[in-house]
Amino acid sequence: MKRHMKTAEEKEAASASASTSASPLLSSSSSRSADDDDTETKSKEFDGAVTSSTPAKRAKKNIMTPGLTAALDRTKLSSRQAASVLAETAKSLGQDLCEVNVNRMSIHRHREKNRSKSVSQLKQNFHVNGPITVHWDGKLMQALTGREHIDRLPVIVTGQGVRQLLGVPKLAAGTGEAQASAVMNCLEEWKLCDNVSSTCFDTTSANTGKHEGACVLLERKIGRELLHLGCRHHIMELILAAAFKTVLGTSSGPDVLLFNCFRAQWVYTDHNNFQPAPTDEYA
């Protein structure tokens, strides 16, 4: 009996200790729930304060004019560099930077917009009444977005009182077909196909080929015969090369020693007092 009673007493004591140990847990949980409620209330109040506050206004004063765009392009400044320069310039002039739009992306967008507007205005104001000559000459230039070199074809038209660059398109290849197509696209874009009467080009086979030259293909695309004018610089190069070979013989290297010596002595020559070789008795 004593053992059974002692066991019952032990059970009562264990239940009492469990209740006492559970009470702080309940109190801590209740206190945590209260803290959580306070936190939620504070977060709601904080959210309400944020949403009720007015957002910062974006600067609306645009300073990117067509003239400023042309100046930045002429000095080869990127939009990021332009943003830094314009911000410091506006600050030095007493302007509030919060009111002036000098964002890099905004400058980039306005530069593109001003370029397209200038090109469209230039095309609208460009009028030709007489015949014109179209010039082209391929150049190997460095790409704008990388270090590789690509073929580009400057296309220019000249005439009486007319001298205009139509474009510098990129060529996939230096063939006659690619050059003729690029020239034709520029003429169609500027609506000058009916005014072209002659062509000026360098004397490479890609231009002067009988069947696949750019001159012949351009005539087919326009639909009439054109006057072919070989570039005088390239023609004179051939004449001078033949004359040099006859007088001084064939050169054994890319550099001519006589010309290198003449170039080195050029800075020491009196340009205001000289005598031509045919009249110089010591020549």
pLDDT tens digits, residue range 5-49? 445 555 555 555 544 444 443 444 444 444 444 444 444 443 444
**What's the pLDDT at 144?**
67
**What's the pLDDT at 64?**
84
Tell me how crowded residue 157 is: count the other CB atoms within 10 A of its CB.
22
Percentage of residues in the chain having pLDDT higher than 90 = 21
Nearest to 138 by CA among 212, 203, 190: 203
Nearest to 193 by CA among 152, 148, 226, 145: 226
**What's the pLDDT at 55?**
53
In degrees and rounded to multiples of 5, residue 54 shows phi and psi of: -80, 135
- Cβ distance 41 to 34 under 8 Å? no
**What's the pLDDT at 166?**
92
Which tens digit of pLDDT belongs to each residue from 84-111? 888 888 888 888 878 888 888 888 888 8
- Bridge pairing between strands 196-201 and 227-230: parallel
Tell me how crowded residue 60 is: count the other CB atoms within 10 A of its CB.
8
- Cβ distance 178 to 171 under 8 Å? yes
Q: How do the domains of the chain map onto residue ranges?
A: 66-125, 132-230, 235-269
**What's the pLDDT at 131?**
93
**What's the pLDDT at 58?**
62
Tokens of 193: 């196909």
- Inform me whether the pLDDT recorded for 182 exceeds 90: yes
Mean pLDDT, the chain, whole residue set: 78
**What's the pLDDT at 59?**
61
Bridge-partner residues for 199, per DSSP? 134, 228
CA distance 138 to 134: 14
Q: Which of 1-5, 162-166, 211-215, 277-281 has the lowest mean pLDDT?
A: 1-5
139-163: average pLDDT: 85
243-254: average pLDDT: 80
More confident residue, 91 or 58: 91
209-222: average pLDDT: 92
In degrees and rounded to multiples of 5, residue 52 shows phi and psi of: -80, -20
**What's the pLDDT at 31?**
45
**What's the pLDDT at 23?**
43
**What's the pLDDT at 96?**
82
**What's the pLDDT at 257?**
81
pTM: 0.58
The correct answer on CATH 3.30.420.10 for the domain covering 132-230 is yes
- Bridge pairing between strands 139-142 and 132-136: unpaired
One DSSP character per residue, the chain reads: -HHHHHHHHHHHHHHHHHHHHHHHHHHHHHHHHHHHHHHHHHHHHHHHHHHHSPPPPPP-B----HHHHHHHHHTT--HHHHHHHHHHHHHHTT--TTTB---HHHHHHHHHHHHHHHHHHHHHH----S-EEEEE--EEEE-TTSSSEEEE--EEEEETTEEEEEE--EESS-SHHHHHHHHHHHHHHHT-GGGEEEEEE---HHHH-TTT-HHHHHHHHHTS--EEEE-HHHHHHHHHHHHHHHHH---SSSS-HHHHHHHHHGGGS-TTS---GGG-TT-
- Cβ distance 227 to 198 under 8 Å? yes
Which tens digit of pLDDT belongs to each residue from 154-177? 999 999 888 999 999 988 888 889
252-279: average pLDDT: 81
**What's the pLDDT at 53?**
52
More confident residue, 190 or 24: 190
Three-state secondary structure string covering 79-128: HHHHHHHHHHHHHHCCCCCCCECCCHHHHHHHHHHHHHHHHHHHHHHCCC
